[in-house]
Structures are given as structure tokens and as C-alpha cells.
Amino acid sequence: MSRLNFAALAGLGSAIGTPRYDARRIAIGIVHLGIGAFHRAHQAEYLDDVLALEGGSWGVCGVSMRSADVRERLSPQDGLYTSVEKSPAGTRRRVIGSVREILFLGEERPQVHARLADARTRIVSLTITEKGYCHDPATGRLNFADPDIAHDLAHPGEPRTALGLISSALDARRTSHGEPFSVLCCDNLPHNGAMVRGLVLAFAGARDPTLANWIAEHASFPSTMVDRIVPATTKADISDNDAVLGVHDAAPVVHEPFKQWVIEDQFVAGRPAWERVGAELVADVAPFEAMKLRLLNGCHSTLAYLGFLAGYEYIYQVAARPEYVTLIRRLMAEEITPTLRVPANVDVAAYRSALVERFKNPALPHRTQQIAMDGSQKLPQRLLGTVRDNLAAGRSIDLAALAVAGWMRYVSGSDEAGRAIEVSDPLAGEFARIATAHSGDPAGLARGLLGLRTVFGEDLPADARFVAKVTAWLTALYAEGAARTMARAVGAAG
Ligand code: CS2
């Protein structure tokens, strides 16, 4: 089978969308660090729409930080790939043209540095996942003990981390042409722009305070709220797509119809007209971000841990169970929503109902284990902020505490039948040590895990209400299993 590329576009069936502009002529204006499925299904699709409307020099140079895989898939196909939208209403496919170059840092470092230093690069965006920021999730501060950060401070010309790359690129720009860029974080972190700004300034300040001052004065770090459910692409997704296209696409992305992007309008070197293609450019992203992280991601993680423990492989299977739907509906209405500053013009009840429907999408199997990974990096913004706000206000923390206990049961490393769980997390080694030390003792396990300060901070392990709730739920999960504990939680609480 021949490969998807520019030459193949004309031969695709009329049901397949193709770029409505000459992608070959689009110059690069954005360097994106972490060119995974989420970027390709979200920001790159918005850009494809902007380019179709008004052209412009906003093509993407996608950089892979750790593996050559994406470059090997995309480069032979001129950066083109299929965006596959799936829902019970059917499947729609379109080829995206906005990714114009793909580089792998490990093998093309000089080209990556040159792109970042080039004054024509006006935005550097990122989807490097939570752990890519080398920060302490509980405080949002830079973790100077991280070996990659230590490496990058010792070798500023050969950075491995995004923070190191951004700092050295801004340094090169400061000392050559003096033009800054905007840093656009598109990861699910709270106050993501402000947080990344703090991390870059901390890193750059440790290298050279003059550089940090220059960055603080010239660069900008708009916050964003990004939303679209994009499960990892499977082999079956690739072969199904090939059969429809009639050519081989090694890098399709599969996603739901819904997408949302709320962006703080703070760009120092211009930006694409995203507002013309459905993005919301606002002065303050914080209320949107909290709503999305706590409602969507908080419930996603809850369903992932408690669903996995009860034996479900996919989120849509968990969301087909009435007791799980009751659990997240109540968690959202009773515990999360009271903590939110709901943005004007948002109907939060409708937003919550739409989330439940999105989780139910049977056309888009999303593995519970994919969402369960890296919980140490996700829990603070997804669930623990809600817990803190409710503790401070004297409100209930019951269901959020059950979700945290579900995470604890999961990271203990063996399931209800005693089979090993493959726990993927930067703290997996610590979890294993704690679980071994407290085997057969749920209260000890809860105490041990609550001692992880980078997850729980100093305050939560000292809060008797939180400790008691989490311990009681974890004990129940061991004694009764997830399915019965869940049923009891929604029955008893109802
Ligand atoms: C998910 C998110 O993998 C996860 O942890 O909760 O990737 C989620 O699908 C997106 O944030 C939806 O916008």
C-alpha cells in the first residue's frame, strides 16, 4: 500500500476532508514540544482551520523530546495525517496539513535549536504531560533535585528538558535579534501559563539572573484550558483508517467530536486568529481551567481507578454502569461544583451532563489504565484542590476521598484477584516500597502514601477528617472490593 503524502491527497475519496490551502507553502511560526496524539487532534486541527481561512505563517514544527517514533511515522508522509472523529453518530475523517516539520531532539538537536532561535518562530507551545515540567505537583515549584534539571543546569547547551530548551532558546534570541516568543502550555495543569512562567524563571535564574530578568520582561506565558478526549491510537485504528483511505497513514489520531480551547490573550509576537475557528480568547482562563480539571479530569480519574479495580478495561464500560454514573454525578454536583467560580455564560449543569455523555461514547474506547497513569502528577489538580476547598468550607469530602482511596488501592500494585497491576508513574518505586512495608494493613498503606509530600503537601496528611475518610474507604476497598464499596457509597450517601 502506498503512503499518505501530498501526491496522494488528490486520490482520496470525496468523504475524506483534505487541507483547503496549499500546505506546501505554509511557513513555520510555531514550534511545538511534545508532538503526541493530543496536539495533533487538538491544536493542530484548530490551526488547520485557521490556515484554511486566512493562510499565514503559522505552520508547526513538531519536536519529539524522547523518541524518533512520531518523526518516523510523519516525515515520510509530508507531515500529513488523518484526524478521525468517532461517535455513535458515525466516523468522520480529515487530513490535517498544519504540521510542516517533525524533528527528534535526540538526533536533530542543531535543527531544533535553530528553529527555536529563529525570529520567525513566534510561539512555542507544549504538550509534554504533567511530569514533563519537572515540578513538585503539590506546590508547582521547580524540582531542582530532578536529574534532568540538574543535567540541564550543568549543560545549558545540550538541554533534555522543555524548560532547558526554552531557556536556552530565549537566551540565544536575547543575545542575537532580541525578539522573544510566547510560551503556550497546553497541558492539564492549574494556572498552566503562570506555572510554566515560574518554572522557566526559576530555571533560567539558576543559570543567569540577567536571562531570567529578560524573560520576565519580554516573553509571555498565556494560560490555556484544552479539552478533547483523544485515546492512544491502536493498530486497529491504523488498519481501519488505511482501509478507508486506500493509502497507509502511520500516524492517525482518533478523538471525540467535542473540542474546546480557552486561551488567555497574552501574546508578545502575534498569534493565529484562533477566535475565528471556535477557540475562546479571554482575559482570565482560571475559572474555565478549574471547571475542566476538577469536573472532567477529576471524574475521569475517579472512573479510571474505581473502574479498573472492578475489572473494566475501558471508560465507556464504566460509564455504562448506573452506580458509577450516580457516583460522578453526585461528586460533581455536591463536592466539585460548590468549589468553582463558574464562568459567565456557562451552564454548569449542562456541562456536567454533557461530560457523562462524552464518557459514555462507545465508539471511542479509552483505556482506564491510560488515564490511571501518572496519578502522582494528576491528583493534586484533579481531586485534591476540591478536597482542600471543601475542608476549608466545612463541606463534605466523602466522594472525593473515595476516589483518592481508589488511587491508593490501584498504586498498591496488585488487583483484587492478586494479579500485578502495571503502575506507570514517576513515583512507582516509592509506591512499591510503601505497599510492601504495609502489606495487609490498609491504614498503614494510607498513612504511608499520605506521607508523599509532593502529592499531598503538608496540610492534607495533618487533616484528621481527610485521613479518617481516606483510611475508611481504603479499608473498605480491601475488605469488600471496588464494586461493592461503590454500590454502598452511592446507596449510603443517597
Ligand atoms: C485524561 C485526559 O489521560 C487522562 O488523564 O483524563 O487526557 C483527558 O482525556 C483530556 O484532558 C480531555 O480533555
Are 227 and 45 in contact by the 8 Å Cβ rule? The answer is no
* pLDDT tens-digit readout, 429-483: 999 999 999 999 999 999 999 999 999 999 999 999 999 999 999 999 999 999 9
Q: What CATH code is carried by the domain that includes residue 323?
A: 1.10.1040.10
Instruction: Judge if 433 and 344 occupy the same domain.
Output: yes
Mean pLDDT of 215-239: 98
Same domain, 183 and 313: no
Q: Is 130 in the pocket of ligand 1 (CB under 6 A)?
A: no
Q: Of the residues 282, 316, 346, which one is the last residue of a structural domain?
A: 282
Angle made by CA atoms 478, 442, 312, in degrees to the nearest 5: 35
The model's pTM is 0.97
C-alpha cell at 70: 512520531
381 lines ligand 1 (CB under 6 A): no
289 lines ligand 1 (CB under 6 A): no
Cell, residue 168: 536556552
Same domain, 30 and 109: yes
Give the position, in ligand 1's atom list, of the atom nearest the Cα of 301.
6
Task: Classify residue 380 by its DSSP letter.
Answer: I
pLDDT value for 304: 98
pLDDT digits (tens, 9 = 90+) for 386-419: 999 999 999 999 999 999 999 999 999 999 999 9
| 262 and 359 co-located in one domain | no
Q: How many domains does the chain have?
A: 2
CA distance 4 to 2: 7
Domain presence at residue 315: yes
Question: Residue 78 falls within a domain, yes or no?
Answer: yes
364 band by pLDDT with thresholds 50, 70 and 90: very high
Q: Would you place residue 493 in the very low, low, confident or very high pLDDT band (cuts 50, 70, 90)? A: very low
| Atom of ligand 1 lying closest to residue 230 CA | 9
- The domain in which residue 337 lies consists of 286-492
The string of pLDDT tens digits covering residues 88-132 is 999 999 999 999 999 999 999 999 999 999 999 999 999 999 999
299-335: pLDDT as tens digits: 999 999 999 999 999 999 999 999 999 999 999 999 9
Of 223, 248, 282, the last residue of a domain is: 282
Give the per-residue pLDDT at 491.
85
Query: How far apart are alpha carbons 299 and 297 in whole angstroms?
Result: 5
**1 part of a folded domain:** no
Task: Quote the percentage of the chain above a pLDDT of 90.
Answer: 99
pLDDT (tens digit per residue) in 32-47: 999 999 999 999 999 9
Q: Do 300 and 264 belong together in one domain? A: no
Is residue 70 located within the same domain as residue 172? yes
Residues 244 and 336 in one domain: no
| Pair (171, 33) in one structural domain | yes
Q: Which atom of ligand 1 is nearest to the CA of 227?
A: 13
Residue 268 and residue 134 share a domain: yes
Query: Residue 494: pLDDT above 70?
Result: no
Per-residue pLDDT of 70-98, as tens digits, reads: 999 999 999 999 999 999 999 999 999 99
Same domain, 276 and 292: no
Residue 303 C-alpha to ligand 1 middle, in angstroms?
12
CATH code: domain of residue 266: 3.40.50.720
**Residue 113, domain member (yes or no):** yes
Contacts by 430-434 with C-beta closer than 8 Å and gap 24+?
A: none
* DSSP-assigned letter for residue 257: S
**Ligand 1 contacts CB of residue 300 (under 6 A):** yes
For position 401, what pLDDT does the model report? 98
Exposed / middle / buried, residue 394 (Cβ in 10 Å: 0-12, 13-18, 19+): exposed
* Averaged pLDDT of the chain: 97
Q: 155 and 81, same structural domain? A: yes
What would the pLDDT profile of 231-250 be if each residue is shown by its tens digit? 999 999 999 999 999 999 99
Identify whether residues 363 and 459 lie together within a single domain. yes
254 lines ligand 1 (CB under 6 A): no
157-172 pLDDT, tens digit each: 999 999 999 999 999 9
Which region, left, alpha or beta, applies to residue 84 given φ > 0 means left and ψ of -120 to 50 means alpha? beta
Among 236, 262, 282, where does a domain finish?
Answer: 282
Contacts of 479 (CB under 8 A, 6+ apart): none
Q: From residue 222, give the alpha-carbon distance in Å to each of 194, 262, 341, 349, 388.
A: 7, 10, 20, 28, 26
Which of ligand 1's atoms lies nearest the C-alpha of 231?
9
- Please tell me the residue having the least CA distance from ligand 1 atom 9: 229
> Shortest CA distance to 290 belongs to which of 182, 383, 369?
383
**98 in ligand 1 pocket by Cβ < 6 Å?**
no
Q: pLDDT band at 262, cuts 50/70/90? A: very high
Residue type, 297: N
